[in-house]
C-alpha cells in the first residue's frame, strides 16, 4: 500500500466520551473505498499542545494525508486552524472573501430569527460578525472549502497534506466530498491502490462456524490470500467485508459460492444490502402493522428510518402492560394467564390484533424480557417471542434467547423480527417474483 492517511479527532467532549465519535469511522470507510490505507485514528482534547503533538505523531509515521475534525468554531476553544497553521509553518491571514461568505450565512440565519425587541438587529449583526471573524482566518496559501454551516474547511498542501474539517457530521460529510475534488488532495492520494470492496451479510451464523468456513476456503481457493477479509457482529448479524484488487475477483467469487453452499439459509445478502432494505422492497404493495412490548417502538422506528416507509407501514401499537395487550390488541386474558405475556401464543394474538386494528395485510409482534430483572428459570432474561401474520393465514412464530444487556436485547430483537418478516414475505411471494 503506497498511500497512507491519519485522522485526528479533536474535542474534549469526544475525548471524555460525552459525545461519541462518528467522524473517525465514517472517514475510515471513505478512505478504504478510495484505496488509501488508514494508519491511525487518534483523539485529543481542545488543547493546542496536544493537538500539535498528534499532528506530529501522524507526520512521523509517514502519512501522505492527515485529516482533522472539529475545532473550527468562533469560540476560544476552537483552535484547530491556528494549530494547523503553526504545524505547517504558515502565517494566519484574514481572507476577505471567506469573511463575506460567512457574513452572508449569518445574515440569512439572523433573518430567520428577526430583529430583537429593541430593534437593534443591525448592531447585533455587527457584533455576531465580529465574533465570527476568527473563522475567516486561514493559513497562507491554503485552499478554502466553502462552509456548510458557518465554519469553512481547509486543505493545506505539504508533507503530509492536511485537510481540516468541521466536527458536526452533517457539515463534515459534504465538505469531505469537496476536499476530494481539490488538486492538493488528489496529488496526496495519487499513489493509492484501486480496490473493490464487497459485503456479505449473514444471520443466525455463529462467528466460529464462519471462521471454520474461511479456514477451509484458504485451503480450497487459489488466490485466497489476496482477499483482505474483516468480519464483525453488527445488530445481531455477521458482516463480512472483503477488499481486493480487481485481479482477485475470481477468488472472491469462489468464496461467495462456498459461503452460499455451506450456509444457504444464513447468507441473506451478497450485494451489501441490509435486511431493512430487503424488507422494504418485499413490502411493496403491502400494508404492515407492528405490535411491540419489550421493544416499545424500536421496531417501528427502525422500519421508518428509510424514507418512503409510509407507503407500506400503517402504524404500530406499543402494548407494554397486559391490560394494554387486552384492551388495544384484544389478546384474550386466558392466553396471558395460561402462557404468560412472553409466549408465542400471546405474540401471535398480538399480531392478529394489530392486523385487525389497522386493516393491514401483514403484521409483526414482539414480546420479551429485556432485563435486567423480570426473568425466571423457565423464561430467563433475553427470552423474546416473535410472530408474523399475513392476511392469507400464513404465520410464523419464534422464541429466542438473546445475549447482552437490556439495550442489546431490545436492539437485536428488531433484527430478529425483520428477518422473520423477510422470510415470511419471501415464502409468500409468487414464484419468479
Q: Is the separation of the CB atoms in 429 and 384 below 8 Å?
A: no
Residues 303 and 160 grouped into a single domain:
no
Q: Please say if the pLDDT value at position 153 is more than 60.
A: yes
99-132 tens-digit pLDDT: 888 888 777 777 665 555 444 444 576 666 665 6
User: Phi and psi for 257 in degrees, rounded to 5?
Assistant: -60, -40
Has residue 262 been placed in a domain?
Answer: yes
Has residue 431 been placed in a domain?
Answer: no
Confidence band of 214 (pLDDT split at 50, 70, 90)? very high
- Check residue 432 and give its pLDDT: 56
Query: What CATH number does residue 201 fall under?
Result: 3.30.70.2860
- Check residue 126 and give its pLDDT: 64
Q: Which domain holds residue 224?
A: 194-272
Residues 212 and 252 grouped into a single domain:
yes
Has residue 345 been placed in a domain?
Answer: yes
Q: Please say if the pLDDT value at position 65 is more than 50.
A: yes
The span from the CA of 263 to the CA of 6, in Å, is 38
Residues 14 and 138 grouped into a single domain:
yes
Has residue 433 been placed in a domain?
Answer: no
Has residue 72 been placed in a domain?
Answer: yes
The total number of structural domains that make up the chain: 3
Characterise 255 by phi-psi region: left (phi > 0), alpha (psi -120 to 50), beta (else): alpha
Spell out the residues 6+ positions from residue 295 whose beta carbon is closer than 8 angstroms to its own: 366, 368, 410, 413, 414, 417
Residues above pLDDT 70, as percent of the chain? 94
Q: For residue 184, list its beta bridge partners.
A: none
Tell me the DSSP string of 87-99. Answer: HHT--EEE-HHHH
**Alpha helices in 198-274, H assignment, sequence order:** 207-220, 249-262
Residues 53 and 84 grouped into a single domain:
yes
Please tell me the pTM assigned to this model. Answer: 0.79
The span from the CA of 272 to the CA of 269, in Å, is 6
- Check residue 124 and give its pLDDT: 72
Query: What CATH number does residue 106 fall under?
Result: 3.40.980.10
Q: Which of 272, 306, 329 is where one domain is finished?
A: 272
The span from the CA of 352 to the CA of 336, in Å, is 15
Has residue 156 been placed in a domain?
Answer: yes
Q: Please say if the pLDDT value at position 147 is more than 70.
A: yes
Query: What CATH number does residue 278 fall under?
Result: 3.90.950.20
More confident residue, 119 or 56: 56
Residues 24 and 141 grouped into a single domain:
yes
- Check residue 112 and give its pLDDT: 62
Strands 237-244 and 267-269: unpaired
Residues 39 and 130 grouped into a single domain:
yes
The span from the CA of 364 to the CA of 68, in Å, is 45
317-361 tens-digit pLDDT: 999 999 999 999 999 999 999 999 999 999 999 999 999 999 999
Q: What is the CA radius of gyration of the chain?
A: 27
Q: Give, in degrees to the nearest 5, the angle at Cα 166 between 160 and 169.
A: 115
Residues 366 and 385 grouped into a single domain:
yes
Rounded to an integer, what is the distance from CA 351 to the centroid of its chain? 30
The span from the CA of 27 to the CA of 25, in Å, is 6
Residues 264 and 279 grouped into a single domain:
no
Nearest alpha-carbon partner for 293 in 350, 242, 361: 350
C-alpha cell at 345: 401464543
Residues 162 and 200 grouped into a single domain:
no
Has residue 432 been placed in a domain?
Answer: no
Residues 89 and 111 grouped into a single domain:
yes
More confident residue, 117 or 195: 195
Residues 35 and 128 grouped into a single domain:
yes
Q: Which of 208, 237, 272 is where one domain is finished?
A: 272
What's the whole-number average pLDDT of the chain? 92
- Check residue 129 and give its pLDDT: 60
Q: Which of 187, 220, 236 is where one domain is finished?
A: 187
- Check residue 130 and give its pLDDT: 63
C-alpha cell at 2: 503506497
Nearest alpha-carbon partner for 131 in 106, 96, 159: 106
DSSP structural state of residue 311 = G
User: Phi and psi for 106 in degrees, rounded to 5?
Assistant: -65, -40
Residues 229 and 292 grouped into a single domain:
no
Please give the sequence-ordered ranges of beta strands (E in DSSP) within 26-131, or none if there are none.
Answer: 37-44, 65-69, 92-94
- CA-CA distances (angstroms) from residue 429 to 112, 225, 354? 51, 40, 22
Amino acid at each position: 500500500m503506497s498511500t497512507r492517511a491519519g485522522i485526528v479527532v479533536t474535542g474534549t467532549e469526544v475525548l471524555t466520551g460525552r459525545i461519541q465519535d462518528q467522524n473517525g469511522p465514517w472517514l475510515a470507510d471513505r478512505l478504504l473505498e478510495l484505496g488509501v490505507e488508514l494508519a491511525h485514528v487518534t483523539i485529543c482534547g481542545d488543547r493546542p499542545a496536544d493537538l500539535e503533538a498528534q499532528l506530529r505523531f501522524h507526520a512521523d509515521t509517514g502519512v501522505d494525508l492527515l485529516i482533522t475534525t472539529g475545532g473550527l468554531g468562533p469560540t476560544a476553544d476552537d483552535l484547530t486552524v491556528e494549530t494547523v497553521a503553526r504545524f505547517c509553518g504558515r502565517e494566519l491571514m484574514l481572507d476577505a472573501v471567506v469573511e463575506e461568505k460567512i457574513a452572508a450565512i449569518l445574515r440569512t440565519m439572523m433573518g430567520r430569527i428577526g430583529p430583537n425587541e429593541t430593534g437593534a438587529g443591525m448592531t447585533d449583526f455587527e457584533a455576531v460578525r465580529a465574533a465570527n471573524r476568527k473563522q475567516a482566518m486561514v493559513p497562507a496559501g491554503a485552499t478554502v472549502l466553502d462552509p456548510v454551516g458557518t465554519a469553512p474547511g481547509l486543505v493545506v498542501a505539504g508533507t503530509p497534506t492536511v485537510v481540516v474539517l468541521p466536527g458536526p457530521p452533517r457539515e463534515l460529510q459534504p465538505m469531505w466530498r469537496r476536499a476530494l475534488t481539490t488538486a492538493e488532495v488528489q496529488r496526496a492520494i495519487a499513489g493509492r491502490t484501486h480496490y473493490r470492496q464487497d459485503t456479505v451479510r449473514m444471520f443466525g451464523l455463529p462467528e466460529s462456524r464462519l471462521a471454520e468456513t474461511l479456514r477451509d476456503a484458504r485451503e480450497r481457493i487459489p488466490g485466497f490470500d489476496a482477499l483482505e477479509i474483516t468480519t464483525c457482529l453488527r445488530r445481531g448479524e455477521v458482516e463480512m467485508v472483503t477488499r481486493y484488487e480487481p485481479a482477485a475477483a475470481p477468488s472472491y467469487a469462489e468464496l461467495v459460492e462456498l459461503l452460499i453452499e455451506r450456509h444457504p439459509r444464513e447468507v441473506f445478502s451478497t450485494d451489501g444490502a441490509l435486511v431493512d432494505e430487503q424488507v422494504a422492497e418485499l413490502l411493496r404493495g403491502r400494508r404492515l402493522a407492528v405490535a411491540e412490548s419489550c421493544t416499545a417502538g424500536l421496531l417501528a422506528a427502525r422500519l421508518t428510518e428509510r424514507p418512503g416507509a409510509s407507503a407500506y407501514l400503517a402504524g404500530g401499537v406499543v402494548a407494554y402492560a397486559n391490560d394494554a395487550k387486552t384492551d388495544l390488541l384484544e389478546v384474550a386474558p386466558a392466553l396471558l394467564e395460561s402462557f404468560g405475556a412472553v409466549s408465542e401464543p400471546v405474540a401471535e394474538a398480538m399480531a392478529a390484533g394489530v392486523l385487525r386494528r389497522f386493516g393491514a395485510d401483514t403484521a409483526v409482534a414482539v414480546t420479551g424480557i429485556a432485563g435486567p430483572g423480570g426473568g425466571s428459570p423457565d423464561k430467563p432474561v433475553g427470552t423474546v417471542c416473535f410472530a408474523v401474520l399475513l392476511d392469507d393465514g400464513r404465520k410464523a412464530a419464534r422464541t429466542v434467547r438473546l445475549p447482552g444487556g437490556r439495550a442489546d436485547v431490545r436492539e437485536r430483537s428488531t433484527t430478529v423480527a425483520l428477518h422473520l418478516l423477510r422470510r415470511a414475505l419471501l415464502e409468500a411471494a409468487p414464484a419468479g417474483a
